[in-house]
Amino acid sequence: MKYCVIIPDGMADFPVSRLENRTPLEAARKPNMDRAAAEGLLGQVRTVPGRMTPGSDIAIMSVMGYDPLRYHTGRGPLEAADMNVELAGDDWAFRCNLITSDGEAIVDFTAGHITNPEAEVLIQALNRELGNKDIEFHVGTSYRHLMVYRGSEYLSLETRPPHDVVGEPIVQNLPRGSGAKMLTDLMNRSVNVLADHEVNKVRLDLGQNPANMIWLWGEGRRPDLEPFASRFGCRGAIISAVNLVRGIARLIGWEVIPVPGATGYVDTDYAAKGRYAVDGLKSYDLVLVHVEAPDEASHEGDLKAKIRAIEQVDQEILGPVMAASADYPDLRVMVLPDHVTSVEQRKHVRGLVPFAMWGAGIDARSGLGFAERTAAQTEVVCEQGHELMGSFLRT
């Protein structure tokens, strides 16, 4: 058997008045997703347990077959795993966003999707000015970076993802709890390091959003995840431009397939991801393709970009993978978003998401297209999201 899982991040949504009360998924032209749903098993899955905050760290862990209530310790350490940042048992890893602030609120949680070379220079400056034996900053991708705390202060924190509080007062969304003063101090001091940096002066001259502050969130300690091969008996590989997703994959023993042109944004090379996914089936039992673009478009409130991203995933990734069944007659494919991201609210929202399984041994034949409302019509619901992977592999 060969397996492929395709995750268009944040693809699920709610009806939009501008689309005549359709969701972006319903409005998109997606013949391959519709075929997979019509010829296969269509249903809904809850990827985020009720008492957890909806986010890709939790949802994708569920999709990969791991119960986040048991295994999730925080987002930061998952990203550290992909960045080769070693964490001792008492160390804490935080996601560190480069953001644009107007002094009162977060204007842009991506700092204008700052480039990797620019971001690297700014992270190095933060290390020089704010780093010490307890505090380290590590370079990630674009606006997504890491801060590691190796000190002895007790931490029991509540932090907010910056993409959920754009436009809201910063003072109302700062960290709370034990250790909050240290984090808030670092965030405030980062303004002095970044605001007048030459990189940001150039960005302002070019009319681009400056990376004039950091935002620390997603704290956690090193998790202990059972190898995927031990749990499910097959070798996996990941295609993703996002540190978080690759980090989870590395922690469960998967290989990372690098794809030139994969950006983690709407300008990613969808066709390259499709080609590398098909090629990866030669070497691995399971290939998971993650595409961040629909989620990024949702956070920007860009409806056209979200629909376009969905169509690109369908045409350039799912289409070639399904066509590969000619070479792999025992191929099985699953497509699903990891969570709901509202293009109107510009943030992650709690809720069930649709999934479709198609291929060898899956003969459910729903006869329906792939969308949120059609999936609900089937009354097929997986309430424990981490159980879906096992069902996909064993059905």
Which residues sit opposite 349 in a β-bridge?
Answer: 340
How far apart are the C-alpha atoms of 300 and 305, rounded to whole Å?
9
Both structure tokens of 320: 């070639």
Residue 318 in tokens: 């799912």
* Residue bearing tokens 């059609």: 374
Question: Are the beta carbons of 21 and 15 closer than 8 angstroms?
Answer: yes
| Predicted pLDDT of residue 21 | 98
The Cα–Cα gap between 281 and 104 comes to 49
* Averages of pLDDT over each 10 residues, the chain, 395 residues: 98 98 98 98 97 94 98 96 95 98 97 97 98 97 96 94 95 97 98 97 98 97 96 97 96 98 96 98 98 97 98 98 98 98 96 98 95 97 98 90
Q: How far is CA 39 from CA 28, 49, 362, in A?
A: 19, 29, 8
Q: How far apart are the first and last CA of the chain?
A: 12
**Residue 249, burial from CB neighbour count under 10 angstroms (0-12, 13-18, 19+):** buried
Per DSSP, the three-state class of 341 is strand
CA separation, residue 305 to residues 7, 11, 173 (Å) = 17, 11, 29
| The pLDDT of residue 229 | 97
From CA 331, how far away is CA 86, in angstroms rounded?
37
Segments making up each domain of the chain, as ranges: 2-72+224-394, 82-220
Q: CATH 3.40.720.10: does it fit domain 2-72+224-394? A: yes
| Residue 360 burial (C-beta neighbours within 10 Å; 0-12, 13-18, 19+) | middle
Say how far residue 289 (Cα) sits from the centre of its chain. Answer: 11
Q: Which helix (H) or strand (E) holds 347?
A: strand 347-349
Give the helix/strand (H/E) hosting 303. Answer: helix 303-312
What pLDDT shows up at residue 51? 86
Strand pairing category for 236-239 and 286-291: parallel
Residues 293/11, Cβ–Cβ less than 8 Å: no
